[in-house]
């Protein structure tokens, strides 16, 4: 009887088989499986009509099971996923069953037998078997650490943008070489009259901001010589010709390999508060790699010959076709210093007990650009224990390396702006009000040192000059709503009452809700 075209195949079911036997039953190349297993990557095969999945030893390890033993029992694939990830995965399965191609990698979490959660990236291609039955074959890898790095970068950028947005003084990010304005906050516009979007892309000298242009040359010279925070008295001219006296504080920062100056201006004639968000970020790296983007290689050590897939050759700046020449020819585009690091890593692998190899190195492309590649492989020895061959994979992680560099730069920007500000700034726990961090201006203004306030609340040190009822209301507003340029009486450590204008915003520090107040 012919099959009904409307019949929906069963959802995938993982058979309790020895993964080694599953690998032997596949039609894939043994070298590829060896490379994937050695590189901690997994391969999988989905019989769509029967709803059955078989997988390699590498895949079984990625799901938290012993790759040397069969599964204790059949598993329902969806049972391995957290409940909140299942609906999206079911939709993806149904789309594939309906004939839609898996154009992008699928990402979801799985729970290991020990209870821990791990992120996986799954790539696959729909390919009928020799009988015309639908099947899908693909590659799987763990991306938990990459997800954590992305979240850390996002958190750092949000903290910097929040503090930049909150600062009640003018803040400028200018190129050190010529004073080209890259970013400015809204207080720049309200104080000097130039719309921010009109100022970006022009230099401070072109705007006529400096009353005495030679002061900018002095500032640049000082920041180059000292390499630390520099403050000086300057005069700035607004678009309407009004001259403002104030103190300019600047710190050199590195952005995308170029020196910039992060500057704040404290107006000593009038004080206005406004906010403008700076976001110096770029589009999120799309980590979705399909099977064709993963390069594989196999090096026969005694002969020095290396086989590389077309993708592996392309990643090394060679023609995108299978490579089968000498090891030295394959790595010709790798700089000398990087080659030496590779030799050291191989020497340690050859002489040590470990069989796995992982190394990140840089390749010079024909157009002069550089790419960063991550190589993962396994060393195989002959019966006498001598190195015989290495099989592994190549992955382009250029964007990932650049993002890690941006994370460092973003953290430096946050710390710089926090310390550069001439206004008192503090970070407190949202729930308890206990201080986490204060800047030097906080100590200079209110008298309390860092050691005296960290771990204590404003109420405990007697910061607020208010009744108990008013104090509760102030702290409630700070925690629940935030303040924006509100005048409040504050008690100096020596008992002197100060009238201050404060603003506050909520931020996250290490996944903890906190308040930043200036």
What secondary structure does DSSP assign to 405-422, as a single string? HHHHHHHHHHHHHHHH-S
End residue of a domain, out of 142, 157, 185: 142
5 falls within a domain: no
Q: What is the pLDDT of residue 108?
A: 86
Domain-embedded: residue 17: yes
Domain identity same for 80 and 137: yes
256 and 195 within one domain: yes
Residue 176 and residue 116 share a domain: no
3-state secondary structure (DSSP) of residue 464: strand
Residues 383 and 445 in one domain: no
Band of residue 112 on the pLDDT scale cut at 50, 70, 90: very high
Least confident of 61-70, 287-296, 380-389, 461-470: 287-296
Q: For residues 37 and 133, state if they share a domain.
A: yes
Give residue 375's pLDDT: 82
Residue 212 φ/ψ, nearest 5 degrees:
-120, 95
Give the separation between CA 96 and CA 101, rounded to whole angstroms. 6
The lowest-confidence range among 295-304, 310-319, 408-417, 492-501 is: 408-417
- Shared domain for 197 and 127, answered yes or no, is no
Instruction: Please give the backbone phi and psi of residue 452, each rounded to the nearest 5 degrees, phi first.
Output: -80, -20
Rg (CA), the chain: 30
The closest of 187, 200, 176, 192 to 250, measured between CA atoms, is 176
272 within a domain of the structure (yes/no): no
Tell the burial category of 80 from Cβ atoms under 10 Å away from its Cβ (0-12, 13-18, 19+): buried
Q: What is the DSSP letter of 203?
A: B
Give a yes or no: residue 156 inside a domain.
no
Confidence of residue 290 (pLDDT cuts 50, 70, 90): very low
Reported as a pLDDT band with limits 50, 70 and 90, residue 274 is very low
Tell me the CATH number at 382: 3.30.450.20
Predicted confidence (pLDDT) per residue in 388-401, tens digit = 888 888 888 777 77
pLDDT one-digit tens code per residue, 164-187? 556 667 788 888 889 998 888 878
Q: What is the rounded average pLDDT of the residues 478-501?
A: 79
CA distances 272 to 181, 191, 214, 418, 502, Å, are 21, 8, 27, 19, 12
HSE toward the beta carbon, residue 457, CA cutoff 13 A: 14
Round to whole Å and give the CA distance between 111 and 83.
Answer: 10
Determine the 3-state secondary structure of 269 from DSSP.
Answer: coil
| Interatomic CA distance for residues 81 and 299, integer angstroms | 38
Show the domain range for 432.
423-517
| Domain-located, residue 256 | yes
Last residue of a domain, one of 350, 368, 401: 401
Asked whether residue 342 is assigned to any structural domain, the reply reads: yes
| Residues 239 and 330 both lie in one domain | no
Say which residues have a Cβ less than 8 Å from residue 433's Cβ, sequence separation at least 6: 457, 458, 459, 475, 479
In a domain? residue 157: no
Q: Average pLDDT, stretch 26-45?
A: 67
Please tell me which residue, 449 or 282, carries the higher pLDDT value. Answer: 449
Full-model pTM = 0.33
The most confident of 19-28, 200-209, 218-227, by mean pLDDT: 200-209
Specify whether 125 is located in the same domain as 18.
yes
The tokens for 394 are: 């190549």
384 and 337 in a common domain:
yes
Banded pLDDT at 402 (limits 50, 70, 90): confident
In this structure, the answer to whether residues 246 and 312 fall within a common structural domain is no
Residue 40 sits in the same domain as residue 132: yes
User: What would the pLDDT profile of 114-136 be if each residue is shown by its tens digit?
Assistant: 999 999 888 877 777 788 888 88
* pLDDT > 70? residue 478: no
Q: Which percentage of the chain shows pLDDT scores above 70?
A: 81
- H-type helices in 112-238, by residue range? 144-166, 186-192, 196-199, 204-207, 214-226
pLDDT surpasses 50 at 452: yes
Can you give the pLDDT at residue 159? Answer: 65
Task: Tell me: do 446 and 506 sit in the same domain.
Answer: yes
Q: Is 279 inside any structural domain?
A: no
The H or E element that residue 403 is part of is helix 398-420
Of the candidates 49, 50, 286, 39, the one whose C-alpha atom is nearest the C-alpha of residue 139 is 39
Lowest mean pLDDT among 144-148, 270-274, 284-288, 405-409: 284-288
Indicate the average pLDDT of the chain: 78
Burial class (CB in 10 A: 0-12, 13-18, 19+), 428: buried
Phi, psi (rounded to 5 degrees) for 253: -135, 155
CA distances 113 to 43, 72, 80, 85, 110, Å, are 20, 12, 9, 17, 10
Point out the domain boundary residue: 88, 107, 142.
142
The pLDDT tens digits for 347-400 are: 777 776 667 777 788 888 888 888 888 888 888 888 888 888 888 888 887 777
Closest CA to 291 of 397, 396, 142, 140: 140
Phi, psi (degrees; rounded to nearest 5) at 52? -110, 140
Domain count of the fold of the chain: 4
Range with the lowest mean pLDDT among 62-76, 199-213, 453-467? 453-467
Which pLDDT score is estimated for 212? 92
């Amino acid at each position: 009887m012919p099959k009904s075209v409307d019949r929906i195949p069963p959802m995938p079911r993982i058979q309790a088989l020895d993964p080694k036997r599953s690998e032997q039953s596949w039609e894939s190349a043994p070298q590829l499986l060896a490379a994937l297993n050695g590189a901690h990557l997994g391969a999988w095969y989905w019989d769509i009509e029967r709803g059955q999945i078989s997988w390699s030893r590498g895949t079984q390890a990625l799901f938290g099971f012993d790759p040397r033993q069969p599964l204790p029992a059949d598993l329902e694939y969806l049972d391995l996923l957290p409940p909140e990830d299942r609906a999206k995965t079911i939709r993806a399965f149904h789309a594939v069953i309906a004939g839609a191609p898996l154009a992008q990698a699928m990402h979801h979490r799985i729970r290991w037998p020990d209870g821990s959660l791990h992120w996986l990236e799954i790539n696959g291609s729909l390919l009928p078997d020799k009988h015309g039955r639908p099947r899908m074959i693909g590659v799987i890898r763990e991306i938990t650490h990459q997800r954590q790095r992305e979240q850390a970068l996002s958190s750092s950028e949000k903290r910097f943008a929040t503090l930049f947005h909150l600062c009640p003084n003018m803040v400028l990010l200018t190129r050190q070489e010529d004073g080209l304005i890259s970013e400015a906050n809204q207080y720049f516009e309200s104080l000097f009259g130039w719309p921010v979007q009109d100022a970006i892309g022009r230099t401070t000298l072109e705007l006529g901001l400096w009353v005495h242009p030679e002061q900018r040359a002095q500032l640049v010279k000082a920041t180059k010589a000292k390499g630390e925070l520099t403050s000086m008295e300057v005069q700035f001219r607004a678009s309407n010709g009004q001259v403002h006296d104030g103190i300019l504080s600047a710190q050199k920062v590195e952005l995308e390999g170029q020196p910039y100056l992060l500057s704040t201006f404290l107006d000593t004639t009038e004080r206005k508060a406004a906010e403008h968000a700076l976001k110096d970020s770029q589009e999120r790296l799309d980590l979705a790699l399909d099977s064709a983007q993963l390069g594989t290689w196999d090096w026969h050590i005694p002969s020095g010959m290396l086989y590389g897939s077309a993708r592996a050759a392309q990643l090394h700046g060679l023609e995108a076709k299978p490579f089968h020449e000498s090891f030295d020819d394959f790595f010709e585009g790798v700089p000398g210093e990087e080659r030496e690091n590779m030799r050291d890593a191989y020497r340690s692998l050859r002489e040590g007990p470990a069989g796995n190899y992982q190394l990140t190195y840089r390749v010079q492309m024909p157009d002069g650009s550089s790419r960063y590649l991550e190589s993962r492989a396994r060393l195989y020895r002959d019966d006498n224990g001598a190195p015989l061959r290495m099989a592994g994979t190549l992955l382009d992680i250029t964007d990932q390396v650049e993002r890690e560099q941006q994370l460092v730069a973003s953290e430096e920007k946050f710390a710089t702006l926090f310390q550069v500000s001439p206004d008192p700034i503090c970070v407190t726990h949202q729930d308890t009000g206990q201080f986490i961090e204060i800047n030097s201006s906080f100590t200079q203004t209110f008298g309390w040192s860092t050691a005296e306030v960290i771990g204590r609340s404003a109420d405990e040190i007697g910061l607020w000059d208010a009744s108990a009822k008013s104090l509760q209301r102030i702290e409630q507003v700070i925690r629940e709503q935030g303040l924006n340029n509100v005048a409040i009486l504050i008690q100096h450590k020596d008992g002197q009452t100060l009238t201050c204008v404060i603003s506050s915003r909520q931020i996250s520090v290490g996944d903890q809700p906190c308040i930043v107040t200036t």
